[in-house]
Chains A and B, each alone.
Chain A
């Protein structure tokens, strides 16, 4: 059975009266001759949510932009029909699009900071659709904006309406953007990755907001790469890959009994409690038993704190009395939302940043207390992998030079050029790359390959600890799975310890032996992964855990 057959078979039975808001048939979008959306069909019903999921490059965002006529200049769009409540959008022209945007289709983008005009007041931005479509007077619009902000759960809406977008937190901005999108109560709301930039607790609030809109009869098209977010909201799921819909059906069915191999792979790749001690990209394979050396900790933080003085002269305690021990062959996860101080803690552990108080010991010896010069020869014992590998590579250097440079800083620097090259190639093979990547510029590698090079560089000096700061947060779920597997494989093989920083509870649960939960610079809870996830003691941890959208698998 082909994907198209499934689609036809699983279209929900049309109830009377017809609730179809949008019908798209055989949509094709090409940029400069390259087709990125290859003939997809779907429809959206009132009071229901269709989720289009896929990884980067699948064409899901292009599809969303096409529906509001914002595909851009050098694109070619064709379709048998793009039908919005009986209006053929394909033949409507720019003027037609403008009358539809805002009033008939609301559009919520991923990054509210970019989408809102920084120089205008939030209230004006929220009321913008009303002004464009000529509704109300200036005064009535201002009142309506406050009402809308209140409706999307913005506290003190009258105050917020007078502020500018940069004065608001990420969650509030995203809510203001949604308020603007629903200002004219459009029958269709298109949300392109509406929660991707948000912390889990805020994400949960935004999803509730979208669910409320759905309850009121709005039709929602949700674009997302995150299957657990989709599970929380969608009634119907379409899985896109390379511009095609490979699977389409009711959400419960697609997420519980995926038929297409790609959907199964996507679901298996999501790290969570269920995936502990297994390989994400090879789900049948289990991690071998490991031994954690509980003797002397390889990395030890004693009562760290860090105070930054803000431009207003007020001191802010970013890290407050944080202590931990990391043992040989162990992974210690630090989880927290943005601003919790986890990255600052990592930088102090690396001794790139000096703590205001407290001390870090590396293999039982003073580390943070030493001078820069004394520390330099010891740096080979501690490596680092960043979230964005590309910016951590000198843009002039090919992969080979990056690795040989790192090898030269190690315990056993290569004696000759030939030896350096040989060992760099062995490192590449160790992280799943090949000799051909030696001369490649990092720019010409994929995101996953770049992170593999970054891991190889961290391994080159043969460290006993690697600090991983959000190492998989910028990667697609299937690539993320491979990189996480690589990290655990390397740990099993080399016995290296990881200090693993992430905002993603699933990732943290998957990799960590022990976990620190941070909030506002403090460790609110620490314990084994099982304790934290199954018997959370602190109220914040519980709130964090319930906020995580979860796939309810059997």
Chain B
């Protein structure tokens, strides 16, 4: 490879490479946990309770003698699933509300905007708690709760984006060529308005994981026998004074995964914005 091609494609930053590694690890854990561990997340061993990290148990064991690393790996499918599901749901709601408000204008826009402002004034977690208190805690409820909780912020972004792109010269140019309003929306407005938000969505995944963990920690998310990360934190709470690893190590995993997804999201955002300019 010549020097020229190297300068043409900028060398990825160290942070991006590390983030890719972390994301690859967590995806593997979610899709095929047996690749990373051969143990069972529910195998109880009462002779090995609350053991500190060692070669045999890198993350230590919990009060039932279950291997913590195995539990973290098996919990990633739920945690990641909540993150992706909630963000997807939030964006679906946001796209519908944002586009309707921006394109309809007038009274519809004013109504949607007011509702969004009220929703936005609530802390998102409170909104999520509302949903859970209505439906009772479960995996699906957590996804819906976090999704609804984060939708207003995205909806405002979508609306602003649509309003901005609608002013673009190429929208008028397409109309002047004789394309129908629907064709202009589908072919120009939608892709150009949504594209910059793809990166924002990636950032949202990390945030949703944290929120879901928070809900589980409060006992409002996924119930204990599951090894969802927030649930792990909740379970370890009782032994925090004696067995630090039960809290710290799953916590570190949450931080690392969130950080990695966010870093990749930012990189993606810069790429997309660069391409759009």
Contact = CB atoms under 8 A, between A and B. Distances in A.
B176 A350 contact: yes
A461 B179 CA distance: 12
A437 interface: no
A293 interface: no
Contacts of B172: 352, 392
Interface in B140-195: 168-170, 172-181, 187-188, 191-192, 195
B277 A386 contact: no
B191 A461 contact: no
Nearest to B191: A396
Contact of B178 (A376, A396, A443): A376
Interface in B239-277: 275-277
A377 interface: yes
B177 A392 contact: no
Contacts of A405: 177
B178 A394 contact: no
A409 B173 contact: no
A461 B188 CA distance: 19
A394 B115 CA distance: 33
A18 B170 CA distance: 58
Contacts of B277: 395, 443
Contacts, number: 55
B173 to A, nearest CB: 4
Interface in A391-418: 391-396, 405-406, 409
A509 interface: no
A242 interface: no
A379 interface: yes
Contacts of A386: 169, 173
Contacts of B188: 394
Interface in A524-538: none
Contact of A379 (B168, B178, B276): B178
A238 interface: no
Interface in B218-243: none
A392 B180 contact: no
A394 B179 contact: no
A425 B175 CA distance: 23
A379 B177 contact: yes
Contact of A409 (B177, B191, B192): B177
A352 B192 contact: no
Nearest to A347: B172
A409 B276 contact: no
A294 B187 CA distance: 40
Contacts of A393: 169-170, 173
A461 B177 contact: yes
Most A CB within 10 A of own CB, among B170, B173, B175, B192: B173
A352 B187 CA distance: 19
B180 A376 contact: yes
Most B CB within 10 A of own CB, among A372, A379, A394: A394
A384 B178 contact: no
A395 B192 contact: yes
Interface in A354-395: 372, 376-380, 383-384, 386, 388, 391-395
A502 B268 CA distance: 42
B176 A352 contact: yes
A443 B192 CA distance: 16
B276 A395 contact: yes
A380 B179 CA distance: 10
B175 A394 contact: no
A392 B277 CA distance: 13
B255 to A, nearest CB: 36
A395 B176 CA distance: 17
B170 A394 contact: yes
Contacts of A350: 176
Most A CB within 10 A of own CB, among B169, B174, B176, B181: B176
A392 B173 contact: yes
Given A393-B170, A394-B192, A395-B276, A377 B176 contact: no
Contacts of B173: 384, 386, 392-393, 457
A457 to B, nearest CB: 8
A386 B171 CA distance: 13
Given A386-B169, A391-B168, A396 B192 contact: yes
B217 to A, nearest CB: 43
A412 to B, nearest CB: 14
A383 B176 CA distance: 7
A383 B173 CA distance: 9
Nearest to B276: A395
Most A CB within 10 A of own CB, among B170, B175, B177: B177
Nearest to B179: A409
A409 B192 CA distance: 21
A181 B174 CA distance: 45
Interface of B: 168-170, 172-181, 187-188, 191-192, 195, 275-277
30 contacts: A350-B176, A352-B172, A352-B175, A352-B176, A376-B178, A376-B179, A377-B178, A379-B177, A380-B177, A383-B176, A386-B169, A392-B169, A392-B170, A392-B172, A393-B173, A394-B187, A394-B188, A394-B192, A395-B170, A395-B275, A395-B276, A395-B277, A396-B192, A396-B276, A405-B177, A406-B177, A409-B179, A443-B277, A457-B173, A461-B178
Top 9 closest pairs, chain A to chain B, by CB: A379-B178, A391-B169, A392-B169, A392-B173, A394-B170, A409-B178, A409-B177, A384-B176, A376-B178
Given A350-B176, A396-B191, 5 more contacts: A384-B176, A391-B168, A393-B170, A395-B192, A457-B173
